[in-house]
Structure 1
Amino acid sequence: MPRFAANLSFMYTEHEFPRRFDAAAGDGFRGVEFMFPYAWPAAEVAGWLRAAGLQQVLFNAPPGDERAGERGLACLPGREAEFRAAIGLALAYAETLDCPRIHVMAGIAPAGAERARLRATYVANLAWAAGQAAAAGRELLIEPINPRDMPGYFLNRQEDAHAIVDEVGAANLKVQMDLYHCQIVEGDLETRIRRHVPGGRVGHMQIAGVPARREPDVGEVNYPYLFGVLDELGYAGWIGCEYRPAGDTSAGLDWLRRLG
């Protein structure tokens, strides 16, 4: 059975952020992920992890000006200096949190921008960042995100993500395969899992019910079946639970308890 990590940006929001670590550990999680840790000193977050006996498995690099609607800098021409500073900050946090992987968000494509120029910027930035991350012993991930939840996001499809990974050619650059986003954009999840998971090119996975992004036992995706496919393929990575509970987080974990 795959290893599941609680996403503390989505789950346990009935608690203040520092209390979410203990709550997740109390429900049996051994790994956690979240979007952005930068509102808290890295040493403080590391203390919460240690006290709860949890492993940090993933977080995002800074997205730019989130309040202005920015969702990453990697594809944006003219923002290279900000992108490099963001990667430096993320790597510093990853060192303190002992986190092996960082998600690098592509960004929202500016209106009227030439896609080829955005892609070239994206590839160049990822190549530089992968070199920095390799020196620090970290993996970088890129994630296709559906345009319904994030209109204008540059990267939407699995094939495009894997083509970019191929072009960059860095062993520590991998794809974050979120089955919620993949179902909305592409569907045919088993086929895509069987195509992309073998060979280790998928560095992390995430789940949520489709279409409402609730618990994974609600909606149109048969996750227990897909977990069996992942077991068959020998997937040994984490699966992040990036969903919004319909009510109390712990009460909504029957889907996980049924898996044994």
Structure 2
Amino acid sequence: MALFGRRVVPFRSAGELDAMAAAGAVVGEALVAVRAAAAPGVSTLELDEVAESVIRAAGAVPSFKGYHGFPGSICSSVNDVVVHGIPSADVVLAEGDLVSIDCGAILDGWHGDSAWTFGVGTLARDDEELSEATRLSLEAGIAAMVDGARLTDVSHAIEQGTIAARERFGRHFGIVAGYGGHGIGREMHLDPFLANEGEPGRGPRLVVGSTLAVEPMLTLGTEDTTVLDDDWTVITDDGTRAAHWEHTVAVTEDGPRILTTRPAGA
């Protein structure tokens, strides 16, 4: 897409952003319901059923289910699983687990995509700091979603958010290599790819209405990962735990707008 001869991140009208926000609100509601259901002894397949029930009750469709053959309505990634964990009756949550839930929904043809990380019961301090560092990196990336910015300004902001978190907590957090955010609209994954680190000032420009899924993924150790034989599940190579936070975000005249809001008080 071009605007005045320049490459820009694809953009939507105000009405289309409202439609995306409606889809995003369904995702937020599903994530809150999943977190409420997550407890020791509960399987990730049961969490998947919770999410699908919420999504369909809202008149939406789970965007993950059947996507390139993926069997679930959520990606449920526990402990050393970074992303794309397949919900399973065999994965049963235990006290102290670190859980990342990624969820998507389609409503009236528009997509919402969001993820967050939380603990089952009481988390170890390391895991709390990892999740908080990832959340802070997400916030830094969102803050860079402004009219006139370049794509890699967002990448650089995420990286700087991670560096600031390293300094705040006095420890290393690995930025997962090869994974990142993406364009989103009437399809879940659109160009451009949004890296979670890099030099600023490069790539297409953001304009009012541009939409991106911003999603940092950090670990307590390595940046390197392996995809398991199921062709989906991504794990850290050193077995350290990982966290994943994501929002669908739009550029507006008034600054960044989060389209995947969660219910008040969540």
TM-score computed with the length of structure 1 as normaliser: 0.30
| Structure (1/2) with the larger helix percentage | 1
| Structure (1/2) with the larger strand percentage | 2
TM-score computed with the length of structure 2 as normaliser: 0.30
